[in-house]
């Protein structure tokens, strides 16, 4: 089974699996039933996936998982904002939908393996286990949002385009005359429209609370329109009075509708606590490389008992964001900042 989003990456993944001699069936997940003009949930994406399957002469099916998507992705996204966390819905979609519910569907329907168009690789270890490894194309690497893949998932997963650059993927799609060859990559959260944005989406679902802004001495220096919309490290969107130096959100207290701002130096921490860790094989302690955003620079640290001790002070990671641990280019595991 090849998970096909309607983009060029999954289109080429399906073509490569068929070229290897596998019996391939393409499956597209119908996830978001609301308004969408971005991401991978639009009706046009389903049609693109179907027409690519027609061109490759393989079966195509659509699985409706919109209720599950609402429960595991959209609802937690909203509740995270309501409690002052910074969510990553793409990670939760991978965790609960693509590599849990879909993984079970693969097994239930009698498929041997699942393939996706993610830019990542799977590396075999000397002891017979597997690790997720960075893609050849570092600019497109997606290991950060796939850190939750454990041995049971990695053992039956194929990532056919992990050894290709994005240009090579598009060249192959062009050679095969696939309609997705020049289709732009999805960039945004699929259930947030460009026209209305995050503010409008949340305002329809939770009350947004005006808040006060204070400095590190507790003096009120400004206001925010909605405290639920502020994240650690944010600079814009806060009406602060006085001073010429930039000020950043260093703490968000939703229950008390208060945002604390400070200097870039006030954002720096020597350690970061992580919870809900998932490991590729076994719990890790010791030197690691740590990545705290999808395309962030890996930073040296020491991991001990789910606490990251930075080699050099780093900006505080927003609670709710993923913290992913690497051994060179291979993923050891990851968790959520708290």
Strand 211-214 relative to strand 220-224: parallel, antiparallel, unpaired?
antiparallel
pLDDT band at 238 (very low <50, low <70, confident <90, very high): confident
Please tell me which residue in 40, 190, 277, 338 is annotated as part of the active site: 190
Helix, strand, coil abundance in the chain, percent, nearest 5: 30, 30, 40
Looking at 41, 93, 277, 338, which residue is catalytic?
93
Question: pLDDT band at residue 44, thresholds of 50, 70 and 90?
Answer: confident
Report which secondary-structure segment, H or E, holds 333. Answer: strand 330-337
Q: Where is pLDDT greater, at 210 or 197?
A: 210
pLDDT at 240 over 80: no
For residue 75, what pLDDT is reported?
Answer: 97
Please confirm, yes or no, whether 41 is among the known catalytic residues.
no
Res 63 pLDDT > 70? yes
Answer yes or no: is pLDDT of 242 > 60.
Answer: no
If one counts the domains in the chain, the total is 3
Same domain, 171 and 297: no
Q: What is the pLDDT of residue 243?
A: 61
Contacts of 107 (CB under 8 A, 6+ apart): none
**Containing structural domain, residue 218:** 207-262
Q: What dihedral do alpha carbons 175, 177, 179, 182 form, nearest 10°?
A: 30
Cβ contacts of residue 305 below 8 Å, gap of 6+? 285
Q: Does residue 82 have a pLDDT over 70?
A: yes
- Average confidence (pLDDT) over 37-45: 67
Domain match, 238 and 283 both: no
Encode burial over 47-72: b for 16+ CB neighbours within 10 A, e otherwise: ebbbbbbebbebebeebebbebbbeb
Task: Give the number of other CB atoms < 10 A from CB of residue 258.
Answer: 17
- Strand stretches in 110-219, DSSP E: 114-115, 120-124, 130-134, 157-158, 211-214
pLDDT band at residue 241 using 50, 70 and 90 as cut-offs: low
Average pLDDT value over all residues in the chain? 93
- Tell me whether residue 42 is in a domain: yes
Q: For residues 113 and 17, state if they share a domain.
A: yes
Query: Cα(29)–Cα(5) distance, rounded to whole angstroms?
Result: 7
151 within some domain: no
């Amino acid at each position: 089974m090849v998970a096909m989003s309607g983009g060029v990456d999954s289109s080429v993944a399906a073509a490569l699996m068929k070229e290897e001699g596998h019996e391939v069936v393409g499956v597209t997940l119908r996830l978001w039933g609301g308004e969408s003009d971005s991401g991978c949930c639009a009706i046009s994406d389903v049609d693109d996936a179907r027409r690519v399957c027609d061109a490759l002469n393989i079966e195509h099916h659509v699985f409706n998982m919109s209720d599950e998507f609402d429960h595991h992705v959209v609802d937690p996204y909203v509740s995270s904002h309501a409690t002052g966390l910074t969510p990553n819905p793409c990670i939760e979609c991978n965790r609960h939908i693509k590599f849990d519910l879909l993984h079970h569907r693969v097994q239930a329907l009698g498929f041997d393996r699942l393939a996706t168009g993610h830019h990542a690789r799977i590396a075999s270890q000397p002891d017979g286990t597997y690790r997720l490894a960075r893609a050849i194309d570092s600019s497109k690497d997606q290991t950060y949002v796939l850190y939750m893949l454990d041995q049971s998932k990695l053992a039956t997963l194929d990532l056919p385009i992990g050894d290709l650059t994005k240009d090579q993927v598009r060249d192959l799609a062009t050679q095969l005359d696939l309609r997705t060859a020049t289709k732009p990559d999805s960039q945004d959260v699929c259930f947030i429209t460009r026209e209305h944005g995050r503010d409008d989406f949340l305002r329809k679902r939770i009350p947004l609370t005006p808040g006060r802004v204070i400095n590190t001495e507790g003096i009120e220096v400004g206001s925010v329109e909605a405290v639920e919309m502020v994240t650690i490290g944010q600079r814009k969107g806060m009406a602060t009075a006085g001073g010429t130096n930039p000020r950043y959100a260093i703490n968000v207290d939703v229950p008390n509708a208060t945002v604390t701002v400070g200097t870039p130096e006030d954002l720096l921490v020597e350690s970061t606590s992580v919870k809900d860790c998932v490991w590729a094989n076994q719990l890790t302690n010791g030197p690691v490389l740590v990545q705290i955003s999808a395309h962030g620079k890996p930073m040296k640290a020491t991991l001990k008992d789910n606490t990251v001790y930075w080699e050099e002070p780093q900006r505080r990671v927003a609670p709710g964001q993923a913290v992913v641990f690497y051994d060179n280019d291979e993923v050891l595991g990851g968790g959520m900042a708290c």
